[in-house]
Structure formats: C-alpha cells, structure tokens
C-alpha cells in the first residue's frame, strides 16, 4: 500500500495534487495562528499564578510551609536543669509531626528531643501535633542563651526559625505570628497560653482568648514542699507581684506564660535560688531567681516615687543603706540558697506647703506659703470691721478662739503639708452682754462697773482693787457655764465669754478669818510631773492665830494644767477638809508643764491665800551616792545608827546579794553620811522597798536634813510626810520602786542627809526591807 502511494506521488498528477493539499494546510495554519498565540499567553499567565500561589502557600521553597501544615514557635525558656524548652503550636489545618532526632536545630546544629509534654520519647520516634495544639518540647541542649537561632522542622517539611528570646519571623508568609484566630492577621483576639512544670500550678491553666487591648491575670501557686523557681513570658523571666500574680495588659499579640518550681531543700545540678520578698512602696529587680553555683547575682532595689529605702536584709542580716533613693546589692559567690528583702519609708521633704483657704469677711496673712522642713510659720487671722472670727481650723482640727477680732496661729516644727482656714460671722448676731459689779469693800474693778459686749470666745483680763480695810476674796458669776474663770480666787483672773451674764468682784474685811500657808516654804521650784514638798494650809483669825473649832472645806485652784494630791501623793483631789480639832490640812501640788502657775486655797467667809510656783525641767549634775548593800565599798559609806541599827539581810534581797532589813528587834533610823549638795536645785532619792503583811503606814517613813553637821544628834530633820506602809497603794510582800524629788526649800547650801525611818513595835511580826538606793543631784 505504501509502495503504491509512493508511486502515485511520483507521477505528475500526484505531485500537483499533493502540493495543493500542502498549500491548503499552510493557509489553514495562517488562519489559526493568532488564536494559538492568545491561548499560549493565557496558559503562561495561569502557570505563573500557580507557581506564585504554590510559593506563598508553602509548596515551593527551601523553608516553606504548606497552608495546611504551618507551625508557630510561641516561646523559649529552660528548665531548672538548664535544658532548652520550646513551645511549638500547630497553626495549620492538618496534623504535623516532630521527629526525635531530626526536628530541632540550634545555631544550625541538629539537636535531639528528650521530652514532649514532660514525657520522654524514644530515639527516632515521631510525635503528632494536632490542629491548634501546643506542645512543650524539651531539647537535650543546656547552653541556650539570648541570640541563639532556634529552628523547628516538621516531618512534613514545614519549619519556623526564631532568634534569641523573641520571634524573628515565620516562613509561612507571616501566618505564624498573627492573631489567635488562626494567624490570618485580621482577627482582634489573641491567645495567652499557660503552662507549668511539676511542683505547682498556674491558674487559669487553659489557653485564654483575649480581645486586642484587653488584659488577663494568671496566678502561680507552688505545691506543698515546692517553691516558685521562675516564671517566663515569651521566654523571658518576669517578676510576680506580692500575690504571685502576673497580668498581661493591653494585649496586642499571642503570648506564652510558663512557670517552673523547685523542691524545697533540693538543689539539682548545683543551682541556687535567691528568694526575693517584695514589700510595699518599692521593688527589687530581678525577683526570685535561680543561679549556678559560684555566681554573684546583683539585685537593684528601687523605692517608689516619694519613698526611700529604709532597710535591706540579705540572708537574714542587715545591709547598710548607702544610697536611700536606689541601691544595688550583689551576693558573693553562691554556695547555698539566699534571701533578699527591703523596706521603704516616706521620703522626708525639704519643704512643705501650708495651704491657706481664704473666706469672706476676713483675711489670713500670709496666704498659702512654703516653709522649710522643721521650721515654724505664724499666720495672722483678722476679721473685717463688723465681723468676728467664728472658727479657725488647722489641719482639720478646730482651734480655740481667744481673740475674735484678730488672732494668730503658729505651725511649729512643720514636717508635713498643712492647711489653715477661718470663717467669720457678723458681730450683731453673736455678741454677748456682760454686766460687771463690785461688792462691799471694793475700790475699783477692770473692766469698769457696767455693761460690756463681747464676741464669743473673748478672753477678758480682770482686775480688782480693795479699800483699805478689805482684801479681794473672789470673782462670782450668774452664769458659770457661759462665763468661766481661769482662777476665780485671784485678782487678775481671766474671764472667757461664751454667754451673757453678770460678773461680781467680792471682797472681805481684813478683820475676818483667813487662810495661810504654814510650815512649808512657798513659792517652790518644782520638776515637771513631780510633787512639791508637803503644803500645809491653816485657818486663822484676822490676827493670824490658828482656829481649832468647826469644820472647813478648802477649795484648791491653779492657773495652769496641774493637780493636787493627798498626803500619800497618790490620789488627785480638788478640796481638803480641816476638821473640828484641827487648825490645818496638808496636800501636794504637781504640774505637767513648765511655767509659773499660781495656786490658791479659798473657803467661804475666809480671806484666800495664793502663791506662785516655778516649774522647770531638771539638768543632771551628778549622782551623789549609790548602794546595793552587796559588801562593796560604797561612795562616802553608810552608817547604821544605834537604837538599834538596821541589819544586812540575805533572804529578801531585790537584785543584789543583800538588802537592808528592819524588824521589831532592830527598828530605828537608817541614814546615809552627809553628802555635799552645794548648788543643787533638786535632789532625787530612788530605792526599792518591800513590806510584809504586818506593817502599818507609820512603820516606814522618810525624812531628810540640810546644812547638816558631823554630829548626827544635831541634824534638823524635815519629815517628807510619805508613809510607804500604806497597803492601799503598795501591796504586801512585793518589791516596789519609789522616787521622791526634794526641791531646794530650804536651799541646799552645804550638805544633805537622807534617812529611812522604821518604827516597829516590840513583838510585832512586821518587817521592812530596802535595796538599791541612789541619791542624785540636779542643777
């Protein structure tokens, strides 16, 4: 057949027919060539698009990930043994696998996997990661440090690489680092994934979805027998707050938080933990951390604004604070666990502001001002004409108004910001009318007789002058609640006006009975909060002779903060009573502040008596003598006087081997040698004493002598009037300490001698004991 075909073509007729077919075919080709060109261009474009798509979605490239197999390295950390830990999440839509011996590279060097999710995996084995799952991969690599390149490759060929402790990118076109809704980058929610190693928990324990800008808090808790070792966020160590909480705020990306724990008392691989205890108003950085043996970790202690470091304690020992506004502490080479904490205090200011609030109808001068710390500042408060000061409030506390039209107020030793304000009221609404009168025997009074108007709180200075045969007796008022005197029994008393009423000056004839201070020198100079010498008040007729009939109640008053006490100097009193057969009564006086108070004794139909005391703070001059009766050489010595002397007792001692004892067999006086007390303003005597249950108040008393001679019999003794045997005050069979202050009345010009008196009847079982006597002189 082929041969015949060839023969046919070799004929003329055959050749012409064949040429015609070829020509027809060429014409057909020319006709369709534009269509073919267009189709070829379309095919090339499609292939290019497919190639580009495959490259983007992971089908082409060296470190590529297919869209269904992408992964994400969430964070990196290390275990307490130092092994590298990687948290890998499957962010694709299919399952991927890690291989034990070929999936992890560090700095391009292949490493083997030891554990996945804390379970040891077999050599050469594979581990599946399902869609959305995050696994903890522990690598047999203990040299991890910031800046290392970490690469994870799946069996399916997808991979991701990070650098240091933060994500450096993803080979999946950015999908590995996007939002928590699958990595598309368009979602506004993010995933916070918690995890914890053996020894404790983190709550909540499951992944948390957080809206962009939101926050979430995790709490780390160690099990019994464990402690929190470290907490990492995205592979970096962080510090928990005082409640072991950590808060993600303003979340704008996926995060991981991982907690590790250490067994108490266990120290694997020679690593030691520095436990940092945080306190209020400052912070120590870093917090609790673990270090290799021999490390010298450094911690920075920083107070909050407005505070300073008050103390630093390292391993239980105090550390000197050298820079209170911030200090660094470095531990020496570690060979054991350690501890560090600090406390903080408010930073003292060099200046403080006193804020003045002005109100209508008055002015405070100066206004708001700044003063140096410790300085004082005085303000003048002045009411406008027709107004008076209604209130003054300093630092929130109302102040007493003593001069309603104009008054000053002083802040002293300013150590904090202060405030001051005042209000004012119209005079016509609050003034009180006081009517002043003068009784028989008066010559003049101040203010003059008649009506006078005062603003509330006004203090009025009073004055009274008697006629020749009269003396001032007292001030009286018709309204004791609203019109009050600082001392109604002195002529120059002060009246405080807070209501209307009448004030009268009373006088009494010099031929009338009177009160007088006797047998005690007044005025006296006293120590603050120490009693005076015994003060005796006597009732007398006009000629000065004592009266001994009837009963009289005497009122005691003073012009400053003080109180009076009875003969035992223990019970505060306001009155004393002179009984039928007595012509006098005694009391003590005691003041709580320095100054010159006036004390007054007054009674109905008697001329009052007043005197001025001087109250000072003492300055120690020297200790004159001490004794504890232990057999040592005592300063200037002690004498046991005959009739008969006290003895040295060894069974009732207070705090030394011996005490001095007196009983029915040796009662009498016990005195010190004469002591040089020249120039003393006060002398104090302090001692311990003990009385048994049979002693009476009169069995144990005190007295002293001044200007004494060597001859004991010639000493003029002054009885202090203190009966220490009073069991209403001092219990039996118990050691007590007693101190008495003796002022220079009469003056200490030469020598001083102190004596304890014991008067125990023969056959009595009573006894008193004395120990540890100290006599001190003050200027």
Fold classified for 431-509: Immunoglobulin-like (2.60.40)
Determine the straight-line distance between the first and last CA of the chain, rounded to whole angstroms.
158
Residues with Cβ within 8 Å of residue 429, at least 6 apart in sequence: none
Count the helices and strands in the chain (H runs, E runs).
Answer: 3, 67
Up-side HSE of residue 431: CA atoms within 13 Å toward CB? 13
Is residue 458 a contact partner of residue 477, using CB atoms and an 8 Å limit?
Answer: no
Mean pLDDT split into 10-residue runs, the chain, 779 residues: 45 55 54 61 65 44 52 80 84 87 91 89 88 88 81 88 54 36 54 90 93 92 90 87 91 91 69 93 92 91 91 96 92 93 88 92 93 92 91 95 89 92 84 93 94 90 92 93 91 93 93 84 74 82 84 82 68 77 78 85 88 79 76 52 66 78 78 82 85 73 74 69 64 82 73 82 80 84
Estimate the crossing angle of helix 2-10 against helix 12-57, to 10 degrees.
120
Q: Which CATH number fits domain 514-616: 2.60.40.10, 3.40.47.10, 3.40.1190.20, 3.20.20.100?
A: 2.60.40.10
Do 431-509 and 620-778 fold alike per CATH?
no
Classify 292 as helix, strand or coil.
strand
- The whole-angstrom separation of Cα 635 and Cα 624 is 8
- The rounded distance, in Å, linking the Cα atoms of 689 and 706 is 24
Closest by CA position to 272, among listed 224, 211, 222, 331 = 331
Q: How many CB atoms lie within 10 A of CB 235?
A: 24
Measured on CA atoms in the order 260, 263, 268, 271, is the torsion positive or negative?
positive
Distances, alpha carbon 511 to alpha carbons 514, 583, 605, in Å = 9, 18, 11
- What is the structure's pLDDT at 170? 32
Comparing CA positions, the residue from 660, 631, 635 lying closest to residue 645 is 660
- Compute the distance between CA of residue 238 and CA of residue 234 in angstroms, rounded to an integer: 10
Q: Is 448 helix (H, G, I), strand (E, B) or coil?
A: coil
3-state DSSP assignment of residue 505: strand
Q: What is the sign of the dihedral through the CA atoms of 176, 177, 178 and 179?
A: positive
Give the pTM: 0.36
d(Cα 658, Cα 661) in Å, to the nearest integer?
Answer: 9
How far apart CA 713 and CA 731 sit, in angstroms, is 34
Does domain 620-778 correspond to CATH entry 1.20.120.450? Answer: no
Q: How far apart are CA 23 and CA 9, in angstroms?
A: 16
Strand duo 736-743 + 682-691: pairing:
antiparallel
User: Domains of the chain: which residue ranges?
Assistant: 2-57, 71-261, 267-346, 351-429, 431-509, 514-616, 620-778
Q: Which two tokens stand for residue 591?
A: 């003041």
8 A C-beta contact, residue 66 and residue 156: yes
Quote the pLDDT of residue 178.
36
695 phi, psi to nearest 5 deg: -75, 150
Do 756 and 658 meet the contact criterion of CB atoms below 8 Å apart? Answer: no
Residues 6 or more apart whose Cβ sits within 8 Å of residue 285: 239, 299, 300, 302
Contact 252, 212 (CB under 8 A): yes
Q: What distances in angstroms separate CA 169 from CA 52, 166, 174, 181, 342, one per listed residue?
A: 20, 9, 7, 18, 41
393 to each of 367, 389, 397, 410, how far by Cα in Å? 15, 11, 5, 12
Looking at residue 384, what DSSP letter applies?
P
Q: State the chain's maximal CA–CA distance in angstroms.
A: 192
C-alpha to C-alpha distance for 137 and 84, rounded to whole angstroms: 8
- Using DSSP's 3-state secondary structure scheme, residue 129 falls into strand
């Amino acid at each position: 057949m082929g041969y015949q075909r060839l023969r046919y073509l070799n004929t003329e007729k055959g050749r012409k027919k064949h040429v015609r077919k070829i020509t027809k075919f060429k014409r057909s080709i020319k006709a369709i060539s534009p269509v073919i060109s267009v189709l070829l261009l379309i095919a090339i474009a499609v292939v290019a698009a497919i190639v580009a798509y495959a490259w983007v979605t992971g089908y082409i490239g060296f470190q590529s990930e297919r869209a269904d197999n992408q992964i994400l390295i969430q964070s990196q950390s290390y275990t307490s043994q130092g092994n590298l830990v990687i948290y890998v999440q499957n962010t694709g839509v299919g399952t991927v696998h890690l291989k034990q011996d070929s999936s992890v590279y560090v700095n391009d060097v292949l490493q083997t996997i030891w554990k996945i999710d804390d379970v040891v995996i077999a050599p050469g084995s594979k581990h599946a990661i399902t869609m959305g799952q995050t696994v903890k991969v522990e690598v047999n690599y203990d040299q991890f440090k910031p800046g290392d390149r970490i690469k994870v490759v799946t069996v399916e060929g997808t991979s991701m690489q990070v650098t240091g402790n933060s994500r450096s990118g993803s080979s999946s076109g950015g999908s590995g680092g996007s939002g928590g809704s699958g990595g598309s980058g368009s979602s506004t929610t993010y995933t916070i994934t918690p995890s914890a190693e053996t020894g404790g928990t983190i709550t909540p324990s499951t992944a948390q979805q957080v809206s962009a800008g939101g926050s979430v808090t995790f709490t780390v808790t160690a099990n019994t027998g464990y402690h929190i070792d470290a907490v990492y966020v995205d592979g970096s160590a962080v510090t928990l707050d005082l409640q072991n909480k950590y808060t993600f705020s303003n979340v704008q990306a996926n995060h991981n938080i991982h907690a590790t724990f250490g067994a108490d008392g266990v120290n694997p691989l020679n690593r030691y933990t520095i436990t940092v205890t945080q306190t209020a108003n400052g912070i120590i950085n870093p917090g609790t951390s673990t270090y290799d043996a021999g490390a010298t970790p450094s911690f920075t202690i920083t107070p909050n604004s407005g505070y300073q470091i008050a103390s630093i304690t390292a391993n239980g020992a105090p550390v000197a604070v050298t820079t209170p506004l911030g200090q660094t502490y470095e531990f020496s080479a570690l060979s054991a666990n350690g501890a560090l904490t600090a406390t903080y205090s408010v930073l003292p200011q060099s200046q403080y502001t006193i804020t003045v609030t002005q109100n209508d109808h008055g002015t405070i001068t100066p206004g708001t001002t700044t003063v140096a710390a410790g300085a004082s500042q005085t303000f003048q408060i002045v009411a406008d004409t027709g107004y008076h000061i209604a209130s003054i409030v300093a630092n929130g506390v109302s102040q007493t108004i003593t001069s309603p039209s104009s008054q000053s107020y002083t802040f002293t030793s300013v150590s904090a910001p202060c405030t001051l304000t005042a209000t004012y009221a119209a005079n016509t609404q609050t003034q009180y009318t006081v009517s002043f009168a003068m009784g028989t025997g008066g010559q003049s009074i101040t203010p003059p007789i008649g009506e006078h108007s005062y603003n509330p709180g006004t203090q009025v200075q009073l004055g009274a002058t008697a006629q020749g045969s009269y003396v001032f007796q007292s001030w009286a008022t018709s309204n004791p609640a609203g019109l009050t005197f600082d001392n109604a029994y002195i002529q120059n008393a002060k009246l405080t006006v807070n209501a209307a009423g009448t004030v009268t000056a009373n006088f009494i004839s010099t031929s009338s009975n009177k009160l007088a201070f006797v047998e005690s020198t007044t005025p006296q100079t006293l120590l603050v909060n120490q009693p005076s010498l015994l003060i005796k008040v006597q009732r007398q007729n006009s000629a000065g002779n004592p009266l001994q009939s009837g009963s009289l109640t005497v009122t005691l008053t003073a012009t400053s903060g003080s109180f009076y006490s009875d003969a035992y100097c223990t019970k505060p009193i306001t009155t004393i009573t002179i009984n039928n057969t007595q012509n006098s009564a005694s009391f003590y006086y005691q003041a709580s502040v320095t100054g010159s108070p006036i004390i007054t004794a007054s009674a109905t139909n008697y001329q009052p008596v007043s005197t001025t005391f001087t109250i000072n703070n003492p300055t120690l001059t020297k200790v004159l003598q001490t004794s504890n009766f232990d057999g040592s050489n005592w300063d200037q010595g002690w004498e046991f006087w005959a009739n008969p002397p006290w003895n040295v007792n060894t069974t009732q001692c207070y705090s030394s081997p011996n005490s001095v004892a007196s009983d029915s067999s040796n009662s009498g006086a016990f005195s010190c040698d004469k002591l040089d007390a020249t120039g003393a303003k006060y002398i104090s005597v302090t001692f311990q004493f003990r009385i048994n249950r049979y002693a009476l108040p009169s069995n144990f008393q005190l007295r002293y002598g001044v200007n004494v001679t060597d001859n004991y019999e010639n000493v003029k003794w002054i009885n202090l009037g203190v009966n220490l045997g009073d069991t209403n005050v001092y219990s039996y069979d118990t050691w007590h300490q007693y101190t008495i202050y003796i002022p220079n009345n009469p003056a200490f010009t030469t020598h001083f001698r102190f004596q304890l008196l014991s008067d125990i009847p023969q056959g009595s079982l009573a006894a008193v004991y004395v120990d540890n006597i100290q006599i001190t002189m003050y200027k």
